[in-house]
Every structure is written in structure tokens, then in C-alpha cells.
Structure 1
Amino acid sequence: MRRASIPLLRVLLVAAVMFASGSAMASSCAWPDWEHFKQTTLSADGRVIDRSMPQQITVSEGQAYALFFALVANDRPTFDRVLNWTQNNLAQGDLTRHLPAWQWGRHEAKGDDKDASPAWGVLDSNPASDADLWIAYTLLEAGRLWHERSYTALGTVLARAIVAQETAVLPGLGRTVLPGAMGFHPQDDMWRLNPSYVPLQVMRHLANALPQQTEWKALLDSSTRLVTDTAPHGFSPDWVIYRRDKGFGPDEQTKAESAYNAIRVYLWAGMLATDAPARSSVLNTFVPLADFVAAHGFPPERVDTQTGTAGSNEGNAGFSAAVAPYLAALGRNDLAQAQAQRTRTLAAQSALGYYSQVLALFGFGFLDGLYRFDANGALVPAWTSTCPAVR
């Protein structure tokens, strides 16, 4: 009896260590698109590379998305590589003291130095709040799902820095997320905002997960208004202006256009939990987009949001992947599947670039059941229960 109990004790001890280390005896779910992304777009040391530009840039948004996908995939080694690269290269080695720089890449040689070896580093040090929100959210969720307190602590510190550096109290709107720490308050009575920067499930979860940081409830409220009150004809703008005593208005720099930023607004809306607060009003806001897709077979690349007039260009493969969850949320499943197939067809004809890949990972990962969000915005990855069959 005594000899037989020793192996059993070892098994129990190993199981306890594995649970404490974050594996929780869970396995990963098959996700071919994530594996392809790692092979084509993610460097061995954890950098997401946009190869469409000569600077081979990395943006903090890409690092944030890769962290999220790694958590969805239960891929902790990749998660840690992406987090370490982000901290070491975008945050001066310390995310507890510095929000990550927005853009990193190859510096262009100047003057007589054109033959010199390229120098790599930060190209734009201004942080971007869309990336910072996703990083803070994903760290908090990684801490909860992997039982790792260091992630929770870092996410909490980042969230506090976001409030301090990337928000402002706007008259008549309340505390609001600014797109970055600098450059978005050009006049005393004017602010420049971006609806795609504030996924409502992310904002709601931060408000619930950080009750001691009371500003997040106000940020959720202003984010909801930013998403629903800036699309007069059912198309979200890339950028908007908010003025004291006047409210939201068209952005002059981008002429109130809906394009590569705004496509994410529909994606975030389509992934809201069925019982999430304000889901119905958010979905109803963008029904004209769904009607356009039904009539034309593709989402438009560019739309004048002040008139609802779409340009002649078709949105690319990533656009279709982004709108598919929204169409499914409306119950228009045939449209959703047609857009998913359009993405696959276009991807077979030409390799997807960085941005289209991340939109497809979000859209298809959600449609295939690899993850969802609950009513409070918490992440529910499939590996915590039963893995789905993935196309």
C-alpha cells in the first residue's frame, strides 16, 4: 500500500503544479489560420510584421491582436514572446512605466548614409489607445484564464496608465478615450476621436474587472455614444470631431469617410454577446451596411458617412471577414457565409496582408466558435470547454 501511494502522490503534485502554472490541464484547439499567421507574419522573437511597407513596420495594434489570438489559442509560449518583444522594443523595456510606442520599423537612410546598414527602432513614439486597450484587456484575461497574477498586475497598471494619459473629460460627453496621448485635442473646444478604438465588450469588461478604477464606467458610457451616435446613415466613420456645445461632427481631414478604421466597428458589434447591454441598439445602427452587402455582394471600401453614398471600390477580403460576424448577429446567416466564402476565395487568389489577416482571425475565429464574449465582455475561449470543428 505504501509503495503504491507514492506514484499517486506524484501524479497529484504534478497536476497541482500544472494548474498553478496556468495550463489548468487544458489543451489547445486546432486553429489553422493562427498557425498560418505565425508562420507568415509573426517573427520567431514575437514581432508582427507588416511586409507591405518598405520599413517592414510593426504597430502596437498588431502586437495587441497577436496577444489576444495567442490567448484564444491557449498558446502561452507565443503569448510570452509577443509580450516580451512588445515590452522590450515598444515600451523601453518596462510596460509598467511606458505605454507602447505606436510604430516600430526600419529607419530610412538619409543623405550620405544611404549605403549604411538599416537602423531599426521606434518610428513614432506616440502610443495608440486601441492597442493599449486590447493589451490591458488581454493581460487581465490571461491572468484570469491562466491563473497568472503577474499578467493581472501588469494589465491593471496599463489600464491605469491609459486613463491617465489617453483619456479626457469632454464637456457633455464625460470621460472619453482619446486615440493617443498626443495630437487629438487640436483646439480648446475640439477633440478628434475614433469609434473603432473602443470595442464595447472590451470597455465593459474593463469597467467590471477594475471597479477600483471608477473612470471605466464613464469611459464605457462615452464609448457607447461614440459608436452609436456618429453613424447618421448606418455607416461608421473612421474619424469624428467632438466640439463643446455642438457634439459630434464630421472630421475634415478624412472628409467623414468610412474605410479601413471603421470596418472594425462592425466586427466588434457582431461579436457582442446576445445578452450584452445595448446590443440591439448597436446592431440596429448599422443595418444599412448589411443592406448594402445584400444588394451588392460585398462591403464597400469607402463610404461618405454624411450622405451614406458608397464609392465604387469593393472592400477587400479582410472587409468581408470583418462584416461576417455582424451579418450573423442580425440573423442573416446566408449573407455571413457568403462573405466568409468571399474572403477564402480572394485569399486563394492572393495572399492576405497583415491587416486582412487579423480581421480574418477575429471574424473566422468567432464564427467557428473558437471564442466568444459573455455579457460582461469576459473572454470565453473554446479550450476551456469543448473544441469546435474548424473549417
Structure 2
Amino acid sequence: MLKTGARSHPSRRVLLQHTLLLSALGWPALAGASPKPSAQRAGAWADWDTFAQRFLQPDGRVLANAQGQTHSEAQSYALMFALIANDRPRFKSILRWTEDNLCAGDVTTRLPAWLWGQQDDGQWGVLDSNAASDADVWIAYALIEAGRLWNVRRYRALGRSLAQRILAEETADLPGLGHTLLPGPVGFVVEAGQRWRLNPSYLPLQALRRLAAVAPAQTAAQWQSLLHSSQRVLIESAPRGFAPDWVLYAADQGFVPDHQGEQQALGAYNAIRVYLWAGMLAPQDPAHAPLLQALAPMVERVAALGYPPEMVDSVTGVVQGAGGGGFAAALLPLLQAAQATQALAAQQQYVADHPPQPDAYYGGCLMLWGQGWMQGRYRFAADGQLLVPWGDPA
């Protein structure tokens, strides 16, 4: 987590296809026409409302820690939750605050600063102007999908503009790996031309696949290379099936454990999202099966332990501590995808028995992602599109 430095109704045939798809995803069939977005108002997702009451200020800023600071990550997740909930007012306010305060008033001209809070002089503003690519990817994705689902041209344009800025400023061509997403524009080149620090949890393939699908034709090759490298990072950084928080890529060695970093090759509060994003991939996504296979050891370990590890050494597989209910919630989609029925039931009970503390922003986010998925509030199509029960098919 820490970073450095209004559509018309569809035809009957399309509606039927959409209904069958929703049924296949575990959603109840929709009788008659798809409900208009206004049929599901803000408040339809009680857990999101509770989260917003705890962490979201009226102006659209998410409080991410006890210091009252805000991360671009927090804003990106809140945008996604508001979109899933069909909560247009909150989406609008979250976006406005993000653009005004993290993007100097214009998301088309600069990447969002990753950290905002109280400065040394007592004023409130940007504390670190460096960007975080995971937040940027989810913000771009949320804008593009909000533009499609709500038929708001401005959102689509903003999302595409941000996606192109991500490609231009937060990627690099790594020898032997290709076009690769860096954690941010600055601070992740360990040794020029030789070594880079990467974060596997910053690579939600469904979101990247959607950004690639709407990108200009002239950048198609770069996006395809980025998708290829992202899958490699996810799999090759976890040779024993346990994702690290951070990993080094060396031009002459490939992926090597990041023993230089603070986490010493451990997988913990960053890595838990690798399993989350992987579990939510569409079964038709070409990366679905390879990732399930690569991460099978984590599924097996959770099944054996009965609880989610808080930390796992990605080199030795040694477990340290038990994660909270948020960690268990984040693992639910993967356990479901792996058809680990008993482990899934056990972790669902663990989630119920270990709710995050009321002030635990990150645990609350993981709960919304994981439980929202299990409740069938959203899915991702093979091309990365967001599928929601209230939305018309594309």
C-alpha cells in the first residue's frame, strides 16, 4: 500500500443474452427489461453505506488512517464501490475531490498524487506528489466503466486520458520482460538499466485488459506487451505460490526476492490483493487458469490452516500470524474460483467472526471487495468490462 518518492433499453435478444450471462454468474434472472439505473439507488448496498459513513467525508475525501490522511488508493476504491452501488452522487463527489486536490484541478494534465494530509505548517494538501499506479489504474477503469454504464461522455474521456498518461509515465520497457507497469513514475529504478522494484498487487489484469481494449490503436502493441508482462510478474514472482508484497526484476536474472525492501520478500498487506484480483478474473480470461494453478499453494495453505495468514515468506512459505476478517474476505473469490468448497465455507465463517474494527479503512475495503463479490454485486467480463445487475448490457 505504501508508495514511494442514460443508455436506451437493449433489444430482446441482447437482453436475453445478458440475462443468461447474469444467471451463469450466479445472479437471479432479470424479469422483463433490465432495471434502469435509477431503480437501484444509493443505499442499495448497506455495507457501502456503512463504509461511507465511517470514512467518506461529505466533500468526497476518504479518510484512510488515524492521521486523517488520504491516499489515491482510497479514492480509487471508493470510486469503484460507488459505481458498483450505482451511487452517482457519491461517485461525483469522490471524483471532484480527487481531481481538485490530487490532480491540481485537472486529471487530464497530471497523475493523482498518492498522499494528501496535514503538512508541517498546519495546512492541508499534497504530502507526496509521486503517483501510485495501482490507484491510477482503478481510477481510470472506474471512469471508463462509469462512462459506459451511466452514458457519461466526460467520464469516458477522462478515463481514457488517464489511461494514456499511465502508459506514458508509469511504464518502462524492461529487458527480457517488455513493457511493464511500474508502481509509480519515480523511485522504482533500483539500478539504472539493470534492476527495478515491482509490486504484483498493482496488476489487476481485468482492469488492465479493459484499459487496453479502449486504448488508441497506435498504443495497442504497448498495452498487449504490458498485459503479457503483468501476467509474468504475477506468476514468476511467486514461484512457490505465495505472492510477495514487492519483488525485484533484474535484467540478468529475472525475478529475485526483494531482500533490500522493508518487507524482506514477505507477502502481506499488499500481496493479499494478488489473490483478490486473481480470484475475480472471468473464467474465460486467458490468465484465469494459469493464475489459479500458480496460486494453488496459497489455497491449500489457507485450507490447512483454517485462517488467512497475515504474512507469508514468498521464498520459504513460512507463515507469520493470522490475518483479519478483511484478509479472509479478500481470499473468498479465489477459493470460490478454485472450487475449494470447505475452505470457502471456513473462511466465510472466519469473516463473520472477525469483522474489521470500525476505524480499519483497509480491512473495510477488503471486506467490500470480497463480500460484494460473494453477494453477486459485480463481476468482470473476459474483456474486463464491469458487470452489475442494474446495468444494461454493452
Name the TM-score, length of structure 2 as normaliser: 0.87
Counterpart in 1 of 2:86?
Answer: 74
Q: Distance in 2 between matches of 1:296 and 1:246?
A: 34
1:210 aligns with 2:230: no
SS at match of 2:390: helix
Q: Which amino acid aligns with 1:183?
A: G
Deviations 1:99-131 (A, max 9, x none): 10001112246xxxxxxxx32111111000000
1:200 aligns with 2:205: yes
Q: Distance in 1 between matches of 2:102 and 2:392?
A: 35
Counterpart in 2 of 1:89?
Answer: 101
Deviations 1:349-368 (A, max 9, x none): x4350000111101011110
Counterpart in 2 of 1:112?
Answer: none
Q: Which structure is richer in relative contact order (CA contacts within 8 A, separation 6 or more)?
A: 2
SS at match of 2:126: strand
Work out the percentage of aligned pairs sharing the same amino acid.
Answer: 50
Counterpart in 1 of 2:56?
Answer: 42
Counterpart in 2 of 1:221?
Answer: 228
| CA RMSD in angstroms, aligned pairs only | 1.8
Which of 23, 35, 40 is residue 27 of structure 1 equivalent to?
Answer: 40
Which of 352, 362, 372 is residue 344 of structure 1 equivalent to?
Answer: 352
Q: Distance in 1 between matches of 2:276 and 2:257?
A: 22
**Is the contact between residue 317 and residue 352 of structure 1 (CA under 8 Å) also seen in structure 2?**
no
Deviations 1:185-230 (A, max 9, x none): 1212111100000101111111112252322111111101011111
- 1:86-125 matches, cutoff 5 A: 86-108=98-120, 118-125=122-129
**Is the contact between residue 324 and residue 355 of structure 2 (CA under 8 Å) also seen in structure 1?**
no
Change (3 A) 1:378 1:250: same
Counterpart in 1 of 2:74?
Answer: 62
Q: Distance in 1 between matches of 2:350 and 2:176?
A: 42
SS at match of 1:168: strand
- 1:260-339 matches, cutoff 5 A: 260-311=269-320, 313-339=321-347
Q: Distance in 2 between matches of 1:261 and 1:217?
A: 25
Segments of structure 2 that go 5 or more residues without pairing to the other structure are 1-5, 9-35
Q: Distance in 2 between matches of 1:183 and 1:24?
A: 42
Q: Which amino acid aligns with 1:49?
A: L
Q: Distance in 2 between matches of 1:327 and 1:44?
A: 36
Distance apart, 1:338 and its partner CA: 2.3
Deviations 1:130-154 (A, max 9, x none): 0000011111111111111100110
SS at match of 1:238: coil
Name the TM-score, length of structure 1 as normaliser: 0.87
Q: Which amino acid aligns with 1:100?
A: P
Change (3 A) 1:15 1:304: closer
1:364 aligns with 2:377: no
Counterpart in 1 of 2:195?
Answer: 190
Counterpart in 1 of 2:16?
Answer: none
- Count matched residues: 355
Q: Distance in 2 between matches of 1:105 and 1:352?
A: 17
Q: Distance in 2 between matches of 1:67 and 1:263?
A: 20
Structure 1 runs (4+) deviating above 4 angstroms are 23-26
Segments of structure 1 that go 5 or more residues without pairing to the other structure are 1-13, 17-22, 110-117, 387-391
Q: Distance in 1 between matches of 2:349 and 2:70?
A: 29
Counterpart in 2 of 1:130?
Answer: 134
